[in-house]
Amino acid sequence: MSCEKASPSKPMSGCEQQYETVNILKPAGVCQLCEDFSARESIKPVAVMCCEGSCLRGEIARQASNILCHSLLPERTARVCLGGAFTKNTGQRALVRNAPRVIAMEGCFLKCATRMMQGVLDGLEPEVVITDSLIDFDRDLFSADEMPEVEIMGHALNVAEQIAARLGDQQPAQPSAGTCCACSR
């Protein structure tokens, strides 16, 4: 898609109103650990990317993604590094490009991970999960430090179990002893 540049005398086009153009500096080198990880993970059928936001909603999504990929379904899911996939055209981006199934775990309706990756991968249509819609909590809270860590972990576990169940292999487990009461639905 091509957009003409706006000038003070020229109003923004519809394209400019809808899209933001960014120039991303290419990395100076390659992280071999990251590339080796991506190569290993590429055999898995589901790539999981997450908005990774630093607010409460993003933190719950981030922790839920880790639980899903590292504990509940480690054989089937590859945990994508969103920053790596977005900013460099190497292994992490290839995980998203080539996976038979891509899940985007978004902390909220703004869908940052989905919009970022659609900017670098034409036609990408991940299965979007708005994680804050899966849990009950005080909607006025914003920052991650406004909720006790144990409660965040409980919500993350709850979200991860729901997504694992959707992926077919895992039913939601009973809350563990360490799960706080605020996490139950």
Residues in Cβ contact with 166 at an 8 Å cutoff, skipping those fewer than 6 apart: none
Q: How far, in Å, CA of 65 to CA of 161, rounded?
A: 10
Minimum distance from CB of 59 to ligand SF4 (Å)? 8
62 vs 76 by CB, closer to ligand SF4: 62
Q: By CB under 6 A, name the binding residues for ligand SF4.
A: 51, 53, 55, 57-58, 106-108, 110-112
By the 10 Å C-beta count (0-12 exposed, 13-18 middle, 19+ buried), 5 is classed as exposed
144 vs 173 by CB, closer to ligand SF4: 144
53 vs 91 by CB, closer to ligand SF4: 53
Minimum distance from CB of 55 to ligand SF4 (Å)? 5
Residue pair 182/153 in contact by the 8 Å Cβ criterion: no
The residue behind tokens 């694992």 is 164
55 vs 124 by CB, closer to ligand SF4: 55
Minimum distance from CB of 150 to ligand SF4 (Å)? 20
Minimum distance from CB of 46 to ligand SF4 (Å)? 20
Q: How far, in Å, CA of 25 to CA of 90, rounded?
A: 14
